[in-house]
Amino acid sequence: MPSTSAVQFQNAPCRVLLVGAPPAAAALREMLAGVDDIELVLTDAERALEQVASLRPSLIVRALADADDHAFLHACRDDRRSRELPLLVLAPQASDDAAAQGREAAFAAGASDYLAGLPSRTEMLARLRYHALASRAALERDDALRRLRQTEEALARIQAELDRLAGYDNLTGIPNRRRFEEVAQGEWQRARRSSQPLSLLLCDVDNFDYFNERLGRDAGDICLRRLAGVLTGQLKRAADVAARFDGKQFAILLPDTGLDGAVQVAEACRAAIERLALSHPEPQRRIVTISVGVATTVPQDDAQFEGVVTRAGEAIEAAKARGRNRVVAFRA
């Protein structure tokens, strides 16, 4: 079933914006008298482009007073409002050689069609209807593409929500924050019962906002996917968990791991990212690096996992303050 806008395109009359020479305008108006499916709107070159947005013509007819006057054709093709509209040129009567030269110049300037003088009524109607049909087909195509993009965006939002509910980050393919916090709470309770240490690493990409601004979001997404793969590659035990924690931050949970062991893993992660040598647009940085905050604790009855997260965040701030691309560790 066609969309509402497509039906409107099909039912609307062909609106022709006639620009220029009064003699041609009068002759064309007389020729189209009584034609129900074509609406002629007369204007001049100074106002025409401003009227395109409000009138939404199916095509533009440029009636030339001078066969060499193509400034308006160039202006139409340079203006986003009229760039895609069919542009038919009516030129004054001239010799065959002059008409041939005028035709070449008009097409070079952006014309869709060229007539050396006013043709018969039958031919004129056929040309106008042909170009109007092409214009409407383009509008319907653009409308369909717009609706397709909207559908794709809606599906992407649904997929992102399904991925979130499933516990995985749709960009990197590793656990998301919700899933990470579920695992962390379970490990927290287990560490509390066994009185074993639990360590958290927060890995923050250095100067990532600048990276995104200069190279674009697509490059930023590729960067995050690469980093996620490197970080997960540093984990050696099944119980260790890496997740995308918050935008440009990754979190790594290390059960049964004290501060020294956690620092070793953090330094391995930092060094692996450095060896990856992804180019960074900031001159002082040159390659993508991470700052890692480490927090380790043995859970007590009155403590919460959120306290470890806070302490790891403070360690990241200390790493940033000390120059970035380094590991700072605190006991929680």
Confidence of residue 118 (pLDDT cuts 50, 70, 90): confident
Residue 284 lies in a domain: yes
Residues 36 and 180 in one domain: no
**Rounded to an integer, what distance in angstroms lies between the CA atom of residue 322 and that of residue 184?**
29
Q: 20 has which bridge partners? A: 63
Residues 204 and 135 in one domain: no
Residue 24 lies in a domain: yes
Q: Is the pLDDT at 2 greater than 60, yes or no?
A: no
Instruction: For residue 238, give the nearest of 249, 250, 254, 224 by alpha carbon.
Output: 254
- Given 128, 146, 164, the domain boundary residue is 146
**Can you give the residue range of the structural domain that contains 34?**
4-146
Alpha-helical segments (H) within 90-216: 96-109, 121-166, 177-194, 208-215
Q: What is the pLDDT of residue 248?
A: 95
Residues 268 and 180 in one domain: yes
The CATH number of whichever domain residue 261 belongs to comes to 3.30.70.270
Residues 204 and 327 in one domain: yes
Residues 321 and 189 in one domain: yes
Phi-psi region of 3 (alpha: psi -120 to 50; beta: other; left: phi over 0): beta
Average pLDDT over every residue of 182-210: 96
Q: Is the pLDDT at 7 greater than 60, yes or no?
A: no
Q: Is the pLDDT at 5 greater than 50, yes or no?
A: no
pLDDT (tens digit per residue) in 70-89: 889 999 999 988 988 999 99
Residues 141 and 240 in one domain: no
Residues 184 and 128 in one domain: no
Q: Is the pLDDT at 284 greater than 90, yes or no?
A: no
* Beta-carbon-side half-sphere exposure of residue 124 (alpha carbons within 13 Å): 21
**Rounded to an integer, what distance in angstroms lies between the CA atom of residue 220 and that of residue 50?**
40
Residue 163 lies in a domain: no
The CATH number of whichever domain residue 71 belongs to comes to 3.40.50.2300
Residues 10 and 122 in one domain: yes
Confidence of residue 8 (pLDDT cuts 50, 70, 90): very low
Q: Is the pLDDT at 68 greater than 70, yes or no?
A: no
Question: Considering its fold, how many domains does the chain have in total?
Answer: 2
pLDDT (tens digit per residue) in 86-111: 999 988 666 667 778 888 889 999 99
Higher-pLDDT residue of 206 and 32 is 206
Confidence of residue 193 (pLDDT cuts 50, 70, 90): very high
Confidence of residue 142 (pLDDT cuts 50, 70, 90): confident
**Rounded to an integer, what distance in angstroms lies between the CA atom of residue 178 and that of residue 190?**
19
- Given 130, 146, 162, the domain boundary residue is 146
Residues 177 and 290 in one domain: yes
Q: Do 195 and 284 form a contact (C-beta atoms < 8 A)?
A: no
Residues 139 and 274 in one domain: no
Residues 317 and 206 in one domain: yes
CB atoms closer than 10 angstroms to residue 204? 22
* 62: phi then psi, degrees, rounded to nearest 5: -105, 110
pLDDT (tens digit per residue) in 14-65: 889 999 877 777 888 888 888 888 888 889 888 899 899 888 899 999 988 7
What predicted TM-score, i.e. pTM, was given to this entire model?
0.54
Q: Is the pLDDT at 204 greater than 60, yes or no?
A: yes
Q: Is the pLDDT at 263 greater than 70, yes or no?
A: yes
Residue 164 lies in a domain: no
Residue 152 lies in a domain: no
Residues 319 and 255 in one domain: yes
